[in-house]
Amino acid sequence: MNLVGTGYDVHRFAEGRKLILGGVEIPHPRGLDGHSDADVLCHAIADAILGAIGEQDIGHHFPNTDPACAGMSSLEIVRKAAALVLAIGGRVINVDASLIAEAPKIAPHLAAMKANLAAALGLDPRRVGIKATTNEQLGFIGRAEGIAAMAVAGIELPGT
Ligand code: MG
């Protein structure tokens, strides 16, 4: 059977942090705040995968109170979410995500981000969609206070 899940995440900008999106360090005056590397794209994708198989969200699986999660690469979170799918005999078919940010420009980094996520998921990079849009200067994203991401994941499970 085919399953689909959705994920959403947002992180605020903070001084003195690296900006990591899709496992790629992107030159920018500020990074995103968070317990892990605050990779909002990876978090939305991981939640989409977990949601598709009816699992609890990444806050449950990777609590921000767990010292083991502090500063961890969020590609590892994506890997572990995909491993939960494998553990029940399924596989991730594709993921598709949107980043919503006024800055920085995402396009120059898309290929590297897709390659990282494809490797973490064991997918062909063509099965990893990443788009980017601004928020037309509206709201907290428009004021460049943070970055949001939304994602869907397609999962195939044997049986009906
Ligand atoms: Mg997050």
Interaxial angle between packed helices 74-87 and 110-121, expressed in degrees from 0 to 180 and rounded to the nearest 10: 40
Beta-sheet pairing, 91-100 with 146-156:
antiparallel
Residue 31 has a pLDDT of 97
Rounded to 5 degrees, φ, ψ at 76 are -65, -35
Mean pLDDT throughout 95-112?
97
Which whole-number Å values give the CA distances from 29 to 25, 26, 32, 103, in the listed order?
12, 10, 11, 10
Q: How far is the CA of 94 from the centre of ligand 1 (A)?
A: 21
* Distance from Cα 93 to the centre of ligand 1, integer Å: 23
Q: What CATH number did the domain enclosing 146 receive?
A: 3.30.1330.50
State in Å: Cα 62 to ligand 1 middle: 10
pLDDT classification of 100: cutoffs 50, 70, 90: very high
- 90 C-alpha to center of ligand 1: Å? 25
Give pTM, 2 decimals. Answer: 0.96
Q: What is residue 67's predicted lDDT score, i.e. its pLDDT? A: 84
Q: Which residues, 6 or more positions from 44, have their beta carbon under 8 angstroms from its beta carbon?
A: 7, 8, 9, 97, 149, 150, 151
State which residues form the domain around 65. Answer: 2-156
Band the pLDDT of 69: cuts 50, 70, 90: confident
Ligand 1 centroid – CA 160 distance (Å) = 33
What is the chain's Cα-based Rg? 15
Cα separation, 122 vs 78, in Å, equals 11
Q: What is the pLDDT of residues 5-61, one digit of tens each?
A: 999 999 999 999 999 999 999 999 999 999 889 999 999 999 999 999 999 999 999
Q: How many angstroms separate the alpha carbon of residue 31 from the centre of ligand 1?
A: 13
Distance 13 CA to ligand 1 centre (A): 12
Determine the pLDDT at residue 159: 82
Q: How many domains does the chain fold into? A: 1
Q: Find, among 105, 125, 116, 123, the residue nearest to 24 by Cα.
A: 116
